[in-house]
Structure 1
């Protein structure tokens, strides 16, 4: 069986110091940034996916969790890619364990790319036909990443034509102080609009005047130019 050390060695062989420097800036792993304290290896996302595809069958859930908890940024993201594969191909028991692993280690899912690569593919799908109250708890968290997980999990519901929780969390997080949560809400509203424009606009017309600007811009990004101007100018 493979170990987390094997995955680390595979990733280390693909590391590029120049990419690591660029990733550190892009993901704000700098003093005062939302990724402060993290470290990058400089491995591209396609390379990480390739490593995940190589190891996911032979890496136990315990070793994958170890990689998620202890690893550098790309090691944690690779661990999440492995968990997504295990979830997608697992039976009910394994899917439950993967879901629990995600919720037990949200402090290691501590950047937007880590959230966005896991919540819509594990948290949301697991909750499709289950009690979703855990999303209310996550949305109330002081941890920005848990709030983003709650919002991004609704992507799975949106794909299934169910918009209720996107709107519910959109209301709850309408005035969230963090830009990354505001962007996530706007993005999910846009995804609703991609499937049902009328449903999105019904939500927006009653809230857009008090909605943070970045949230609104994300939500109306696909609208016609004049319609966007109407929203942004408050002309509706």
Structure 2
């Protein structure tokens, strides 16, 4: 089955898109996506292939995730998200899929792979769980993508007006040195602020001087202009 998936993706590839994708996802030497390969398949077509092979086995998903071809991994992520959502009330199945996801964090190694999955799988699974230690373990990882998974996963919690974990993880990640972490944290803080502006302002008032500027800009993006200027002037 995996050969059919790969064949279908290759049929939809467009070599003229490869250079642009490599530049966009920073695949050069020393960049965060170093070594990532592309075949030039647009995301809507990857989603179509994911829907076609919705029942792909875990073994074949693993092979796709192990690939250095970006579109193979992203298509596998789309299938995994679909399988998780289709499981609905089958918590045994969902737990197994979450375990598979966490086992593969080394392969979920670019921001689009994280952002297409973390809240839909890990975040959703934790919505009714009191034990969320996994988020903190990931946040303290040395791996950039595990850190991003930890904070992006909380989007599922934010949508339930549960902000405590987002705020606590943001505090852990304040001193991280990568701008992709700064952007992710700022984005989630902005989502908190969209629902509870007072909670966002409390965080800003406590941590404004520690926040990297890009994190701050993302966090305050939806605030009134006068308020944005106030916080920017404090930096």
Sort the TM-score into its range (normalised by shorter chain). Answer: over 0.9
SS in 2 for 1:85: helix
CA distance in 1 between counterparts of 2:12 and 2:102 reads: 29
Query: 5+ residue gaps in structure 2?
Result: none
CA distance in 1 between counterparts of 2:83 and 2:62 reads: 12
Q: Which residue of 2 aligns with 1:60?
A: 57
Match status 1:38 vs 2:28: no
| TM-score relative to the length of structure 1 | 0.95
CA distance in 1 between counterparts of 2:97 and 2:8 reads: 23
The verdict on how the C-alpha distance between 1:99 and 1:116 changes in structure 2, with shifts beyond 3 A counting, is same
| TM-score relative to the length of structure 2 | 0.96
Match status 1:128 vs 2:93: no
Contact (CA 8 Å) 2:190, 2:222: kept in 1 or not? Answer: yes
Q: Which residue of 2 aligns with 1:177?
A: 177
Q: Return structure 1 stretches of 4+ with deviation > 2 angstroms.
A: none
Q: Tell me the matched-pair count.
A: 232
CA distance in 2 between counterparts of 1:150 and 1:203 reads: 18
CA distance in 1 between counterparts of 2:168 and 2:213 reads: 19
For residues 81-120 of structure 1, the aligned pairs below 5 Å read 81-90=78-87, 91-120=90-119
Moved more, 77-86 or 65-74: 65-74
**What displacement does 1:209 show?**
2.1
CA distance in 2 between counterparts of 1:139 and 1:92 reads: 25
Contact (CA 8 Å) 2:80, 2:97: kept in 1 or not? Answer: yes
CA distance in 2 between counterparts of 1:10 and 1:191 reads: 37
